Amino acid sequence: MRLFESKYGYFTPDGREYVIVDPRTPRPWVNVISNGDYSMIASHTGSGYSWRGNAGQNRITRSYQDLIKDSWGKYYYIRDRESGRFWSAGWKPVMAQYSLYEVVHGMGYTIYRHRVEDIYSEMKVFVSAKAPVELAEITLKNEGATSRRLDITSYFEWVLGNFPDEHREFHKLFIVPAFRDNAIFVRKYLGQFPDGKGRWNNTDWNQIAFHGASEPVKSYTCDKESFIGMYGTQERPAALFEDELTGKCDRFGDPCAALQVEMVLVPGQSKSVVFTTGTAIIGEEDPEELLKSHSSVGASRRLFSELKAMWDGLLEAEKVETPDPGLNIMTNYWSKYQAISGRLWGKSGYYQVSAGYGFRDQLQDSQIFLVADPGLMRKQILLHAQHQFREGDVFHWWFTIGGGGPRTGCSDDLLWLPFITSQYVRETLDYGILDEELSFVDGGSATLYEHCRLAIEKSFKRFSPRGLPLIGEHDWNDGMNAVGSDWKGESVWLAQFMYLLLERFLPLSTKRGDGVFADRCRDVMQSLKDAVNEYAWDGEWFIRATKDDGGKIGSKENEEGKIFLNAQTWAVISDITDSERKAIAMDSVGRILLKDFGALLLYPAFTKPAPDIGYITRYAPGLRENGGVYTHAAAWAVWAFALMKDAASAYKAYSGICPPNRSVDIDRYMAEPYVTCGNSDGPVSPMYGRGGWSWYTGSAQWLHKVAVSWILGIRVEDGFMEIDPVIPPHWKGFKYTRKFKETVYEIEVRNPENLSHSVATVTVDGKGGGPKISIVNDGKTHKVVAILGRSKD
Amino acid sequence: MRLFESKYGYFTPDGREYVIVDPRTPRPWVNVISNGDYSMIASHTGSGYSWRGNAGQNRITRSYQDLIKDSWGKYYYIRDRESGRFWSAGWKPVMAQYSLYEVVHGMGYTIYRHRVEDIYSEMKVFVSAKAPVELAEITLKNEGATSRRLDITSYFEWVLGNFPDEHREFHKLFIVPAFRDNAIFVRKYLGQFPDGKGRWNNTDWNQIAFHGASEPVKSYTCDKESFIGMYGTQERPAALFEDELTGKCDRFGDPCAALQVEMVLVPGQSKSVVFTTGTAIIGEEDPEELLKSHSSVGASRRLFSELKAMWDGLLEAEKVETPDPGLNIMTNYWSKYQAISGRLWGKSGYYQVSAGYGFRDQLQDSQIFLVADPGLMRKQILLHAQHQFREGDVFHWWFTIGGGGPRTGCSDDLLWLPFITSQYVRETLDYGILDEELSFVDGGSATLYEHCRLAIEKSFKRFSPRGLPLIGEHDWNDGMNAVGSDWKGESVWLAQFMYLLLERFLPLSTKRGDGVFADRCRDVMQSLKDAVNEYAWDGEWFIRATKDDGGKIGSKENEEGKIFLNAQTWAVISDITDSERKAIAMDSVGRILLKDFGALLLYPAFTKPAPDIGYITRYAPGLRENGGVYTHAAAWAVWAFALMKDAASAYKAYSGICPPNRSVDIDRYMAEPYVTCGNSDGPVSPMYGRGGWSWYTGSAQWLHKVAVSWILGIRVEDGFMEIDPVIPPHWKGFKYTRKFKETVYEIEVRNPENLSHSVATVTVDGKGGGPKISIVNDGKTHKVVAILGRSKD
């Protein structure tokens, strides 16, 4: 059964794989494959590139960053030695006439199936689960009637450090390739970090890169010029018109890697060869050993099984079965995979090359680990806390290699530390994390609890005379970067966010006996509530912010940007206002912002730059934060509608941004149907509904979160599991299975009366229970049945 | 007559143009065309890109920086409307079968002649002498027997700000194109500099770019995707398979510019169309007016004449006629053109994109203006002085747009200010420049004289206990960046340079009545002389430097880098040592360093990184400063050999780096035969003799200088002209004509006895004169005859 089939592809029945059947997709549909250390992007066209640790700081192979031409350059050519004709294992670069082309993107791997001139090829690319090595296992099968003599030639360019390598003509001079033992080994005599005395350009790159093959290499070259040919192209490289590669391997050219292996196949015969690419940190890892242990077909098969097992562990701890296959696919597999492989591990996508970790970004993302491995979330929290200054503020982001980052006047980033920490503790009951002693960027250390309190206290110093938090250089929306740089403008969203944060953090303070601070938080909550309700209510919604000059943003008074999404959704999420205003505000969201492809971030879009607001107004109207659907915030709209018990709107808000659903208008959507995009164009754009900046977006985790916690309504808190669905009334029910340590809970929710919310009865293993289920770890499987029903009164 | 003909091209008889006859040159052979404000690179392949003010900070059109693929992308397609077949006005991107392809690089322009399918095309590209506009005048001629319906389609991508546009997927979102009045106008709503409050991403790009045509535009597009086609190429863009361009022109795509004009040509008929590209600074310039005044064939012809006249003014004030056509070509035209158009104006070449002005770099270059327009040198000196700090040190380089730059511990950059200033005053007698009141970077101001003195005084504070100057972070050789960062290591070259500088600056101090400082300089000169001769003599040559640990660099004690060129040439140039040591040192240079393609910078090359020396040791051996010919320093070797009256070595050192001479082994040389390269590979490289980093190199001005002042021996000083040639004995003489203001001196040097130096008699207008000729400005033409002869004693 093919799910969400379009002319370009479909999901396999369980949704765990997406199969592309036409290489001419509207955009490159890629897979970000990572083991948390070594990563690669695999495009459905067969091109891609690799990095280690961080894409921007430590690129291994080169690409050219041209979306339209998708001209990346890690290629495998297949050639018929008799006819001289050649094509490629992927569609790119040769783009030959084919009788089959099919690409399967899966969890941690991509498989390319191609048939040209009676030669069937299958290339499986993946990254070893535990080592900094990628494998490309290529199998050729002779499906013709005559014997064929073939060769396979790999080709890519080296970077070995920063990308973009903007001064290639300089940096290429320091790359030192060598061929030995059937492989190419490459060093770079120019590292990107200063030496012990702070001198730049005085170190080696700290790794050795390598590229090898499981079959004897017939010929090789490390010389781009002789491979491509001066003025040549990757489509028709000079080297493929020669019998053998040149064997040039010195420090005097533009370095590439190309290995050529040969095979003869009688009719019906097939044969596999594995190409390995990777790096070894000098003095810590052994490149020869890494190469040896990964360069065989046997190793490839074994490593692939290990990989599958690793992803099973991360994905299978939770399973949903609902009438909505899109929700199932995304929740069970792709949202988790995207958040982990793309955001937390690979830290890059096609459209954005990361420089490290965003302080609030990967904190939010780390919630994805709550189900399968809370220890990984714990680790992430501790890591972020160590990027805080003693004053309480934090690096807005930091380089994951080499350290450092910008210390900015962003007003919300620091608060995500206590917010996410409290969420973690609520779900795991791991109060011990609060006692972890953690360093500050600028010296000294304190417990995580104190780190969190310092962040809150720092924010307490940034209030307007009216009691609203100052927006500073910007809040959640980085592009509102001119609203309050004089520290006068206020953020209403930040007030709401802070209100919820304090409500959640309070119990931790109380529990620790920090009653003084708890009281302080309670006081601030009250004053926040007063101020928001007194100054921020605009009649039909809450304003978003005020500017340094006191002018409102997101008010009916404005000509453009009259209403902003976050100030309404977070009014509900934070519970900072009364039911009436919540209803009015969310009604405005429903009327004005909620569209077919999700809730718009604001309306109407800015048509001209507003230098007192910031660069969101500089985007084309309808694009990204300027009145487009910004998926991160659009996911929060699902949360808010669910809190309002507005199942129809919640489901509409969810369905519009759930990627598989966009298969029906895929030429409009353009982006991958299996991962969330960062944004999609709003109605004012001529390309309304076009998905942009897929993969590297914080929306993946939230899409998972709102599906599980707010549509299915499964929430874990203080040792209990709550079942509180807000679902479409036509759903007859759904199933949710989740492991807690060694124990499994199989939940079945039934909806015999076509309701959309309100659980009437809950049984655990056949026995009646309260609305909340106490979670035990007895190693058994428990069956929970919840039935929706009308309230008795 | 074709000069220096090779299989790829030749110089025209006067050497002012270079004609390329085969597009498959070993490297892109380009022309850097600039009017000092707006610039472009034109490759012989027909590709190129444009910038304004500074290539790196203000790129107008986009390129992809791939030397081997030369994939730039400013293209003009020619299409037969009947057959649908298309090619391009340059060889790239279509690379069609042709019956003629010829490219002429001239002073300020490049002409492409192409004949495909009986259509002869000629495209002339140049930049207006006075306006920020480039023109491409394309003439098509029907050389076939049937009438032809053709169209021409322009195509390029916009940048509008920083390049490399490393995050294109972000920056493209702010580019706003519009089509009106037969042209495309483009803004960018994201400037690269902070706003008045220091906020980034909150300004507009300060210009409007435009692209128009002199003929009615039949169709157009601003949309790269529909032009190239998703997964398409510039070789075969989707748009050329459609009848018309799409007319897409909005803020929602990846913006390009493409205009299509049509023409019908009967047999024998020809027709011209002009495409204009340029920018207007908002609020200062009028884009419509610039477009209108430049977009006609008449305007193109007139502007081209103006351009020729401008370059005549800069080039024709001096003329040499020697038996060496290479020396003539380079001295009369190309060295000057390269120094002015490439270094001082365009500030970029193919291999290096500049970020502004190097403090010492363009100061040295500015000497090129001494002949034609000393006022421009004056301006450059005053500009550099204003990039000095009150302490006397300077920006190592600075951004020419937006300002700022690195304040480093480079030990020689500051000293080039007094050095070049004294050179300027010696030649022009413009003592008034010393009284110019000029600001410092960090506030306050002082006269130029005081600026110069401050630089010298700052250096006086940086001496070792032995009386040698400390090398600091590095000296002339930036890549010796680890020698002395603890401020202990010494620079011998710097001692020599400083010695000459003080000798030259002294008279200015004395003349100003600053006797105390003059005495101080005299004392330092003596101690420098003592120290260099006591500590730096190595037996057969001078060492180059000592390291922080006291170890020698450039000594027979060393295993690698035993001898460095600069420490020998400047021993002679500075006159810091006695004749015997000069002779021994230069004999070592002749034996060890002087090779067929110039003098090597050091020998033997470093084969492995030496972290206590710096990144020169990280290059491959024989490359650039690591034992290659570094042309800037290799030109100084000519100077030193001439001072030694070693005509054979001086001429060998010159001929080896004089680019036209490399036409005989052009496939080895690879670089352009008409401009100097920054370096060429030393003998230890497998590509010995390969030229690298052409165009943007400080060697162009020095190549001119050593030819005129040290081979021909024409030197101007204190109102006198000296004639002191050091020439090959087989030269029967040479002519040198030079304007001084309204007066012309026609010098003829005769060498009846086949000598290589020593002028015996000089006559001016037939009357006997001393060896030095007093320069007068009487508006007349004076004939000077100098005859070489043996000394009477």
DSSP B59-87: EEE-----TTTT---EEEEEEETTT--EE
Please answer yes or no on whether B204 and A609 come within 8 Å at the CB atom: yes
Cβ(A346)–Cβ(A365) below 8 Å: no
- The encoded tokens of residue A467 equal 């009691």
Residue B216 and residue B198: Cα distance in Å, rounded? 44
On average, the pLDDT of chain B sits at 97
- The encoded tokens of residue B418 equal 């007094």
Give the tens place of pLDDT for each residue, A295-313. Answer: 999 999 999 999 999 999 9
Q: What is the rounded average pLDDT of the residues A177-189? A: 98
Please answer yes or no on whether B204 and A233 come within 8 Å at the CB atom: no
- The encoded tokens of residue B434 equal 């010393």
Residue A587 binned pLDDT confidence (cut-offs 50, 70, 90): very high
> pTM of the predicted model, to two decimals?
0.97
User: What's residue B70's pLDDT?
Assistant: 83
Residue A27 has pLDDT above 60, yes or no: yes
- The encoded tokens of residue B396 equal 């190592």
Q: Measure Cα distances from A674 to A95, A113, B788 in Å.
A: 25, 20, 85
Q: Measure Cα distances from A423 to A162, A504, A520, A574 in Å.
A: 36, 8, 20, 14
Across the interface, of B254, B609, B623, the residue whose CB is closest to A68 is B254
Give the tens place of pLDDT for each residue, A604-617. Answer: 999 999 999 999 99
- On chain B, the residues whose CB falls within 8 A of the CB of A693 are 169
- The encoded tokens of residue A41 equal 């992007």
A182 C-beta neighbours (distance < 10 Å), count: 17
Please answer yes or no on whether B190 and A615 come within 8 Å at the CB atom: yes
Residue A769 binned pLDDT confidence (cut-offs 50, 70, 90): confident
Residue A9 backbone zone (phi > 0: left; psi -120 to 50: alpha; other: beta): left
Helices in B512-629 by DSSP H: which ranges?
Answer: 515-535, 565-574, 579-588
3-state class (DSSP) for residue B285: coil
Cβ(A118)–Cβ(A141) below 8 Å: no
Residue A793 has pLDDT above 50, yes or no: no
Please answer yes or no on whether B251 and A620 come within 8 Å at the CB atom: yes
Mutate to test the interface with B, among A25, A618, A624 (most CBs of B within 10 A): A618
Residue B54 and residue A264: Cα distance in Å, rounded? 56
The count of residues in chain B is: 793
Residue A269 and residue A501: Cα distance in Å, rounded? 64
Please answer yes or no on whether B169 and A351 come within 8 Å at the CB atom: yes
Rounded to 10°, the helix B416-428/B374-385 angle is 150
Residue B708 and residue B747: Cα distance in Å, rounded? 12
| B559-562 contacts, C-beta under 8 A, 24 or more apart | B560/B604, B560/B605, B560/B606, B560/B607, B560/B610, B560/B617, B561/B602, B561/B603, B561/B604, B561/B605, B561/B606, B561/B613, B561/B617, B561/B627, B562/B602, B562/B603, B562/B604
Please answer yes or no on whether B615 and A202 come within 8 Å at the CB atom: yes
User: What's residue A791's pLDDT?
Assistant: 65
Cβ(A80)–Cβ(A150) below 8 Å: yes
- On chain A, the residues whose CB falls within 8 A of the CB of B251 are 620-621, 623
Q: Which residue of chain B comes nearest to A625, CA vs CA?
A: B173
Residue A113 and residue B685: Cα distance in Å, rounded? 44
Please answer yes or no on whether A685 and B95 come within 8 Å at the CB atom: no
Across the interface, of A195, A233, A252, the residue whose CB is closest to B686 is A252
Chain B nearest CA to A33, separation (Å)? 21
- The encoded tokens of residue B547 equal 């390291």
Give the tens place of pLDDT for each residue, A345-382. Answer: 999 998 998 879 999 999 999 999 999 999 999 999 99
Please answer yes or no on whether A620 and B173 come within 8 Å at the CB atom: yes
Please answer yes or no on whether A611 and B231 come within 8 Å at the CB atom: no
Residue A164 has pLDDT above 70, yes or no: yes
Residue B548 DSSP label: T
What is the sign, positive or negative, of the torsion defined by CA atoms of B589, B593, B598, B602?
A: negative
On average, the pLDDT of chain A sits at 97
Residue A792 has pLDDT above 60, yes or no: no
Closest among A612, A611, A613 to A602, alpha carbons compared: A613
- The encoded tokens of residue A575 equal 């519970």
Residue A139 and residue B610: Cα distance in Å, rounded? 46
User: What's residue B792's pLDDT?
Assistant: 53
Give every CB contact of residue B34 below 8 A, 6+ residues apart in sequence.
B40, B127, B341, B342, B345, B346
- Give me the percent of chain A exceeding a pLDDT of 70: 100
- On chain B, the residues whose CB falls within 8 A of the CB of A198 are 485
Amino acid at B23: P
Q: Which residue of chain B comes nearest to A174, CA vs CA?
A: B619
Query: Over the Cα atoms of chain A, what is R_g?
Result: 27
Give the tens place of pLDDT for each residue, B714-760. Answer: 999 999 999 999 999 999 999 999 999 999 999 999 999 999 999 99
User: What's residue A73's pLDDT?
Assistant: 81
- The encoded tokens of residue A670 equal 């353009």
User: What's residue B354's pLDDT?
Assistant: 87
A98 C-beta neighbours (distance < 10 Å), count: 17
A617 C-beta neighbours (distance < 10 Å), count: 25
Residue B756 and residue B751: Cα distance in Å, rounded? 8
Chain B nearest CA to A387, separation (Å)? 23
Please answer yes or no on whether B173 and A485 come within 8 Å at the CB atom: no
Residue B271 and residue B141: Cα distance in Å, rounded? 7
Residue B748 and residue B736: Cα distance in Å, rounded? 6
Residue A152 has pLDDT above 80, yes or no: yes
Residue A72 has pLDDT above 80, yes or no: no
Q: Which residue of chain B comes nearest to A205, CA vs CA?
A: B618
* Segment holding A308, helix H or strand E: helix A297-315
Closest among A525, A541, A536 to A583, alpha carbons compared: A541
As separate numbers, helices (DSSP H) first and strands (DSSP E) second, chain A gives 19, 41
- On chain A, the residues whose CB falls within 8 A of the CB of B614 are 199, 201-202
- The encoded tokens of residue B623 equal 């490359």
Query: What's the CA angle centered on A620, arms A615 and A623, to 5 degrees?
Result: 90
SS (H, E, C) B704-715: HHHHHHHHCCEE
- On chain B, the residues whose CB falls within 8 A of the CB of A352 are 167, 169-170
Mutate to test the interface with B, among A252, A351, A684 (most CBs of B within 10 A): A252
Residue A64 binned pLDDT confidence (cut-offs 50, 70, 90): confident
Give the tens place of pLDDT for each residue, A714-743. Answer: 999 999 999 999 999 999 999 999 999 999
User: Which domains are delineated in chain A?
Assistant: 35-313 (2.70.98.40), 317-711 (1.50.10.10), 714-788 (2.60.420.10)
Low-confidence ranges of chain B (pLDDT < 70): 791-793
**What ipTM does the predicted assembly reach?**
0.96
Chain A nearest CA to B334, separation (Å)? 24
Give the tens place of pLDDT for each residue, A459-513. Answer: 999 999 999 999 999 999 999 999 999 999 999 999 999 999 999 999 999 999 9
Cβ(B746)–Cβ(B321) below 8 Å: no
Amino acid at A320: V
